[in-house]
A and B are shown apart, each in its own frame.
Chain A
């Protein structure tokens, strides 16, 4: 149980294009999902908290108009990187809060984004 999937697992795009990443909780409902970014050899940095049916909360320094988040259902959240640039190249990971322990989050496998 508590499986989170992400699609695509990797994507290469041209600078200036937009990329959408999907995060799904496969066997549980997640009212809250989180989006993280990880640069090589660095920690996971929380980008935004996504709540079903309401606006996402972006962390300080994360542009909400550049990193669009939609949480339209209890099992799906999407992150759209708009007008991507090479500096947006990173490993993007989503997580969903399970119904088990306090603050236990289940993570997706991640999406490797490369912007040329």
Chain B
């Protein structure tokens, strides 16, 4: 039962344009969401997070949007840079003090120079 889904396994975007990565979840108990970036043979690196009390969080080129009614979140990267090419995972957790993360299946982002 995949509670966190990333339906696009891959995405290619021209350098300088906006990259939009999507994530859907089924568990309405989730109240905290995170995005991680992962290079091959390395551990994930934390990018940005959002609490369910917000619908948007911004950090530099990265913005995460949360639509709770649709159980959907998205990560926007603008402008996209070649170094952004990686696999992006969204993750979710619920309950303060509950640290377990449920990961999506990942989306491979390729930035075309």
Q: Could you tell me if B49 and A104 are in contact, using CB atoms closer than 8 angstroms?
A: yes
Given A49-B99, A103-B99, A105-B99, decide whether A43 and B42 contact each other with a Cβ distance below 8 A. no
Q: Could you tell me if A112 and B41 are in contact, using CB atoms closer than 8 angstroms?
A: yes
Q: Could you tell me if B46 and A104 are in contact, using CB atoms closer than 8 angstroms?
A: yes
Interface size on B, residues (CB 8 A): 25
Q: Could you tell me if B106 and A43 are in contact, using CB atoms closer than 8 angstroms?
A: yes
- Quote the shortest CB–CB distance from B94 to chain A (angstroms): 10
Contacts of B103 in A (CB 8 A): 43-45
A84 at the binding interface (Cβ < 8 Å): no
Contacts of A110 in B (CB 8 A): 41-43
Interface size on A, residues (CB 8 A): 27
Q: Could you tell me if B43 and A103 are in contact, using CB atoms closer than 8 angstroms?
A: no
Contacting residue for A43 out of B32, B34, B89, B96, CB 8 A:
B89
| Residue of A34, A94, A95 with most partner-chain B CB within 10 A | A95
Contacts of B12 in A (CB 8 A): none
Mostly, the A contact residues are strand
| Residue of B9, B36, B44 with most partner-chain A CB within 10 A | B44
CA distance A60 to B45 in the complex (A): 26
Contacting residue for A103 out of B2, B4, B49, CB 8 A:
B49
Q: Could you tell me if B99 and A44 are in contact, using CB atoms closer than 8 angstroms?
A: no
Q: Could you tell me if B101 and A105 are in contact, using CB atoms closer than 8 angstroms?
A: yes
Contacting residue for B34 out of A45, A94, A104, A109, CB 8 A:
A104
CB-nearest residue of chain B to A2: B46
Contacts of A46 in B (CB 8 A): 100-102
What are 9 contact pairs spanning A and B, CB under 8 A?
A6-B43, A43-B104, A43-B106, A45-B103, A103-B93, A104-B34, A107-B36, A108-B43, A110-B41
Residues on B facing A (Cβ under 8 Å): 2, 4, 9, 32, 34, 36, 41-46, 49, 51, 89, 93, 96, 99-106
